[in-house]
Amino acid sequence: MSVVLSADNLHFNYGKNEILKGISLSLKEGDILSLLGPNGTGKSTLIKLLLGLLAPKNGEIFVYDKNIRRRELNKNNICPLCERVVEEEDAVLDHCHKSGECRGILHRGCNALLGKLENARAINGLTDDALFEVYVSNLFKYIKENRLGILHPTHRTERERKELAKKRAKKRARLKKKEQQQKVE
């Protein structure tokens, strides 16, 4: 089998902090790579380097024997869901929760929302991909188009929430004062 992805002597720093030092790897078709380690050891950074979201300080990355330094996964680094520019610190590698296959780079918030939807598939009986696509499409249509002009009985305005918080704080203070008085007696 041919080598799909390889890296040779990768180095990467965030400022003066050296995150990756001399990393080399080679993946053939069908290989599975797992990155294990404590927080802050460079797992996500390595993935971002391999995807071309970051450029290594030193070293080379090859995709099907083609040397890449920095390539864009999404045109102009635009998130395909929210259409915002995906800054380096907000870039997240998206994957299918069913198969584990990587799909691309999304904005962190979009990835979190998509993950919640995908995790809820089985609970809602939407295991079939076509049903799930219809559900998601209808969900956004419903949110956008359905406005009855009636406020839910439990909805509170910002002013009402602040007033309720003040009342609760006063009630807690009264109860605390009463408890202290009882302890003295």
* CATH code: domain of residue 47: 3.40.50.300
Token output for 62: 């090859």
Do 177 and 121 belong to one domain? yes
Whether pTM exceeds 0.75: no
Using an 8 Å Cβ cutoff, are 79 and 72 in contact?
A: no
Q: Are residues 82 and 139 in the same domain?
A: yes
Instruction: Out of 45, 68, 91, pick the residue that ends a domain.
Output: 68
Higher pLDDT, 154 or 70: 154
Same domain, 36 and 124: no
Query: At which of 27, 49, 68 does a domain end?
Result: 68
Q: Is the pLDDT of residue 119 over 70?
A: yes
Paired residues of 78 in beta bridges: 85
In the 8-state DSSP scheme, what is residue 78? Answer: B
Same domain, 58 and 130: no
Q: What is the pLDDT of residue 168?
A: 93
Give the CA radius of gyration of the chain.
25
Q: Torsion angle, CA of 120/121/126/130, rounded to 10 degrees?
A: 130
**Count: domains in the chain:** 2
Full residue range of the structural domain in which residue 46 is found: 3-68
Contact 98, 114 (CB under 8 A): no
Instruction: Say whether both 53 and 80 belong to one domain.
Output: no
So what's the pLDDT on residue 72? 42
Cα dihedral sign for 168, 170, 174, 180? positive
Q: How confident is the model at residue 73 (pLDDT cuts 50, 70, 90)?
A: very low
Domain boundary among 68, 89, 110: 68
Q: Do 82 and 31 belong to one domain?
A: no
Could you tell me the two tokens for 17? Answer: 């902090």
> Which pLDDT tens digit goes with each residue over 158-178?
888 899 899 999 999 999 998
